[in-house]
Protein backbone atom coordinates (compact mmCIF):
# COMPACT_ATOMS: atom_id res chain seq x y z
CA UNK A 1 0.00 0.00 0.00
CA UNK A 2 1.40 3.37 -1.01
CA UNK A 3 1.27 6.00 1.75
CA UNK A 4 2.35 9.39 0.38
CA UNK A 5 2.70 11.99 3.11
CA UNK A 6 -0.04 14.58 3.32
CA UNK A 7 0.76 18.25 2.79
CA UNK A 8 2.78 19.96 5.52
CA UNK A 9 3.64 16.56 7.04
CA UNK A 10 6.04 13.67 6.62
CA UNK A 11 5.84 9.89 6.69
CA UNK A 12 5.59 9.92 10.51
CA UNK A 13 1.99 11.12 10.09
CA UNK A 14 0.91 7.51 9.58
CA UNK A 15 2.61 6.05 12.66
CA UNK A 16 -0.62 6.03 14.69
CA UNK A 17 -2.23 3.82 12.02
CA UNK A 18 0.66 1.36 11.53
CA UNK A 19 1.18 -1.65 13.75
CA UNK A 20 -0.18 -5.00 14.83
CA UNK A 21 -3.91 -4.75 15.58
CA UNK A 22 -4.11 -1.33 13.89
CA UNK A 23 -5.66 -0.29 10.58
CA UNK A 24 -2.37 -0.78 8.68
CA UNK A 25 -0.82 -4.03 9.91
CA UNK A 26 2.63 -4.56 8.32
CA UNK A 27 2.36 -8.32 8.86
CA UNK A 28 -0.65 -8.29 6.51
CA UNK A 29 0.23 -5.42 4.14
CA UNK A 30 3.30 -4.27 2.23
CA UNK A 31 3.55 -0.58 3.19
CA UNK A 32 5.58 2.08 1.35
CA UNK A 33 5.66 5.49 3.07
CA UNK A 34 6.97 8.39 0.97
CA UNK A 35 7.60 12.09 1.44
CA UNK A 36 5.98 14.66 -0.85
CA UNK A 37 8.28 16.93 -2.80
CA UNK A 38 8.96 20.26 -1.15
CA UNK A 39 7.67 19.35 2.32
CA UNK A 40 10.96 20.34 3.91
CA UNK A 41 12.28 16.79 4.19
CA UNK A 42 12.89 16.11 0.53
CA UNK A 43 15.00 17.91 -2.00
CA UNK A 44 13.44 20.18 -4.58
CA UNK A 45 14.60 22.75 -7.12
CA UNK A 46 13.97 25.50 -4.57
CA UNK A 47 16.25 24.10 -1.84
CA UNK A 48 18.95 22.14 -3.69
CA UNK A 49 21.90 23.79 -5.45
CA UNK A 50 22.81 23.11 -9.06
CA UNK A 51 23.57 20.73 -10.65
CA UNK A 52 21.48 18.51 -8.34
CA UNK A 53 18.24 20.51 -8.24
CA UNK A 54 16.60 18.70 -11.18
CA UNK A 55 13.72 19.88 -13.36
CA UNK A 56 10.79 21.87 -11.95
CA UNK A 57 7.78 19.64 -11.27
CA UNK A 58 4.12 20.67 -11.10
CA UNK A 59 2.29 19.91 -7.85
CA UNK A 60 0.11 17.28 -9.50
CA UNK A 61 3.22 15.25 -10.35
CA UNK A 62 3.70 14.05 -6.74
CA UNK A 63 1.27 11.09 -6.96
CA UNK A 64 2.75 10.01 -10.29
CA UNK A 65 6.28 10.08 -8.88
CA UNK A 66 5.21 8.13 -5.80
CA UNK A 67 3.58 5.49 -8.01
CA UNK A 68 6.67 5.38 -10.22
CA UNK A 69 8.90 4.75 -7.19
CA UNK A 70 6.57 2.10 -5.80
CA UNK A 71 6.32 0.33 -9.16
CA UNK A 72 10.09 0.42 -9.65
CA UNK A 73 10.71 -0.91 -6.12
CA UNK A 74 8.09 -3.65 -6.31
CA UNK A 75 9.47 -4.91 -9.64
CA UNK A 76 12.95 -5.29 -8.13
CA UNK A 77 11.76 -7.24 -5.09
Instruction: Tell me what pLDDT residue 3 has.
Output: 83
Instruction: Tell me what pLDDT residue 77 has.
Output: 61
Average pLDDT across each block of 10 residues of the chain; the chain has 77 residues. List them in order: 76 87 93 71 64 62 74 75
Instruction: Tell me what pLDDT residue 53 has.
Output: 64
Instruction: Tell me what pLDDT residue 17 has.
Output: 92
Do the Cβ atoms of 1 and 21 come closer than 8 Å? no
Instruction: Tell me what pLDDT residue 40 has.
Output: 57
Nearest to 66, CA basis, from 36, 43, 41, 44? 36
CB atoms within 10 A of CB 54: 12
Q: In 3-state terms, what secondary structure has residue 16? A: helix
Provide the total of helices (H) and of strands (E) in the chain, helices listed first.
Answer: 1, 2
The whole-model pTM stands at 0.48
Amino acid sequence: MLLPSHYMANFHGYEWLIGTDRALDPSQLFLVATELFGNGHSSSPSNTPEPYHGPPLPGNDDPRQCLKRYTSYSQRN
